[in-house]
Amino acid sequence: MPSRFRTFGLIVLVAVLMGGAASLQAVRETRFPPPQATEDALYFTSGKTVQRLAAGYSAIAADLYWVRAIQYYGGVKLRLQQTPPAASQALAKWHRWMCEVSRAAAGAPSRRSAA
Amino acid sequence: MTRSIGVIALNVFRESVRDKVLYNLVFFAIVLMGASYLIGQITAGQDVKLIKDLGLAATSIFGLFIAVFIGIGLVSKEVEKRSIYSLLAKPIERHHLVIGKYLGLVLTLAVNLAVMAAALYVVLAYMAWMAQPGVAAGWERPALDPAMLKAFLMTFCELAIVTAIAVFFSTFSTPILSAAFTFALFVAGRFSADLRNFNQVIESPLANGLTTALYWVLPNLSPFDVRAQVVHGQPVTASYMALSAGYAVLYIAALVAAAIAVFSRRDFK
């Protein structure tokens, strides 16, 4: 029968090795950050294709997609909340200017000239 | 000690050859040759890229099945067949058995991957030889790109971790449950990056702590997937590979030590 001391030593060894693996993982993630998705698209354009891909598990696939969509929405909301007010004001100003330009290009009276 | 581990490892390799495990290589070669002919008919000059993708993916899938379905029976089969009694009566320690079994399966996987890599290069060499010069000029990377060996090496590291998981479960569980647990951990390992990002969308500190702990404890297998980078000619640096391989070695050592701890305490009476 192996001694309890030996088992305890093995458990400590497992913990140390797992800690070492996690440390190496942290170093790797610092030096080589995981790539972020460049395209911000979270939708499917073909319901039929999704149904085939779900392989008969359409209900659970829909649930997973729903959870994923909530996470996406929450992530975007949190990101926008963290945006500095000055930056968001500048963005809003830029957006208004772009609307003016597009209206002018389309030949429609702008809000300023209408006023 | 080293000799007995070596003998056990060699026996595991011989047993897998006797079990016709290497037949999958014939299937792999047929799939590649058939695909290279069919894909050549339906793609607009991108057949080499598709064959590379298919070959690397097939290598990973075949290796995964070998690692799981042989790994889960390595120790439990000896217990079920009662051959464990005659084995332990010999002058070998229990940890020799676990380490030897693990290394034997890793050797089987290494031979499999080496032959599959050679088969893929042979098919790609044939395609490069048959291709028109104008078509070959449009390829993103040359057909016989040595960088593909990096993808094979990373796949080997990933499969070595999966094998260690299977052997760990094999020391205390039935083969069916071990297969289920191993596949579950493999899937969790492939998607563990989602756990890392979970704290961005939930506010509960408890859930955050739990997901963060799971992220660091579960095997992180997604960094071993460099197939897309290799095929598209993106750099996979030596330091990235060294860090990933180091992570694999430490994680495997932890799993094998855990397997030894469990197996050493098992009572076979």
Give the CA distances from residue B126 to residues B48, B84, B105, B141, B148, in Å, rounded to whole numbers and listed in that order: 10, 48, 32, 16, 17
Which is more confidently placed, A1 or A9? A9
Mean pLDDT of chain A: 74
Diameter of chain B measured on Cα atoms: 71
Contacts of residue B253 in chain A, CB cutoff 8 Å?
Answer: 17
Residue among B198, B201, B257 minimizing CB distance to A17 = B257
Q: Rg for chain B (alpha carbons), in Å?
A: 21
Contacts of residue A18 in chain B, CB cutoff 8 Å?
Answer: 217, 250-251, 254
Does the ipTM surpass 0.85?
A: no
Residue A114 pLDDT > 60:
no
Taking the model in full, what pTM does it have?
Answer: 0.80
Contact B243 A17 (CB under 8 A): no
Phi, psi of B20 (to 5 degrees): 65, 30
Average the pLDDT over each of A24-28, A84-88, B33-37 and give the range with the smallest value. A84-88
Q: First CA to last CA across chain B, in angstroms?
A: 25
Contact A17 B253 (CB under 8 A): yes
The structure tokens listed for B25 are 């290589």
The structure tokens listed for B264 are 């050493």
Contacts of residue A74 in chain B, CB cutoff 8 Å?
Answer: 200-202
Q: What is the pLDDT along chain B (269 residues), one digit of tens a residue?
A: 678 899 999 999 998 888 777 777 778 878 877 777 777 677 766 778 888 888 898 889 989 998 998 888 888 888 888 888 888 888 888 899 999 999 999 999 999 899 989 988 998 888 888 877 777 777 778 888 899 999 999 999 999 999 999 999 999 988 999 999 999 999 999 888 778 777 766 778 888 888 888 999 999 998 999 998 898 888 899 999 999 999 999 999 999 999 999 998 887 76
Give the model's pLDDT for residue B261.
92
Local confidence band at A111 (pLDDT 50, 70, 90 cut-offs): very low
Which is more confidently placed, A72 or B108? B108
The structure tokens listed for B148 are 């593909």
| Cβ proximity of B55 and B120 under 8 Å | yes
Residue among A20, A31, A71 minimizing CB distance to B201 = A71
- A97 contact partners, CB below 8 Å, separation of at least 6: none
Residues of chain A whose beta carbon is less than 8 angstroms from a beta carbon of chain B are 2, 6-7, 10-11, 13-14, 17-18, 20-22, 24-25, 27-28, 31-32, 34, 70-71, 74-75, 78
Contact B257 A6 (CB under 8 A): no
